[in-house]
Amino acid sequence: MITMDGVESDFDRVDFPKKTCKIDESMCTCVQANNTLVLTDRHAHTVYMYDTVKGTSRAVTDGNIQEPRYACVGPGDTVMVSCGKKTSIVHLSVTGENLGTYVVNMKFQYSVTMSKDGTKLAVSNSAAGMKKFQLYKISCT
């Protein structure tokens, strides 16, 4: 963990599983407001959420979480997870609750990121010959 001032420290209270991942099998993001580290496990179809202060962890599995790739911080300090096998984005709370699943018109979506103001979601894919980049407007309905 690195602070904005460049001070480096360990996640002392987090007990990570002893697992080795190859390239492109796991990605991470951090929801700083909730002290939550998020790791995806593509082949286990699981999203892991670690509370870096309390030292607790939660494995989130859901029928909609299939081959989770990238994750990013979503609106209201939630998590958006790109799920390649389901052509969808799964919206999770930091406690692991599924807040919604959003189908995207894209095969093999890969990375996902949210604008700083939380109003736009950018999604790209990794399909050879069919590469796309789409921008979605987030509306509160």
Query: pLDDT tens, 59-71?
Result: 999 899 999 999 9
Find the mean pLDDT for residues 51-60. 90
Examine residue 45 and state whether it is found in any structural domain, yes or no: yes
Examine residue 52 and state whether it is found in any structural domain, yes or no: yes
- Could you tell me the pTM of the whole model? 0.86
The per-residue DSSP string of 23-84 comes to TTS--EEEEGGGTEEEEEETTTTEEEEEETTT--EEEE--TT-SSEEEEEEETTTEEEEEEG
Tally of domains in the chain: 1
**Residue 73 reports pLDDT greater than 90:** yes
Examine residue 69 and state whether it is found in any structural domain, yes or no: yes
User: What integer pLDDT is reported at residue 141 of this predicted model?
Assistant: 58
Examine residue 73 and state whether it is found in any structural domain, yes or no: yes
Examine residue 21 and state whether it is found in any structural domain, yes or no: no
- 112 pairs with which residues across the strands? 123
Examine residue 10 and state whether it is found in any structural domain, yes or no: no
Find the mean pLDDT for residues 27-33. 91
- Give the mean pLDDT of the chain: 88
Examine residue 86 and state whether it is found in any structural domain, yes or no: yes
Examine residue 65 and state whether it is found in any structural domain, yes or no: yes
Task: Please give the share of the chain, as a percent, with pLDDT higher than 90.
Answer: 48
Output the CA torsion sign for 98, 139, 86, 70.
Answer: negative
**Residue 85 DSSP symbol:** G
The CATH number covering residue 49 comes to 2.120.10.30
| Number of residues in the chain | 141
Could you list the residue range(s) of the whole structural domain that residue 58 is in? 28-137
User: pLDDT tens for residues 99-129?
Assistant: 999 988 888 888 999 998 889 999 998 777 7
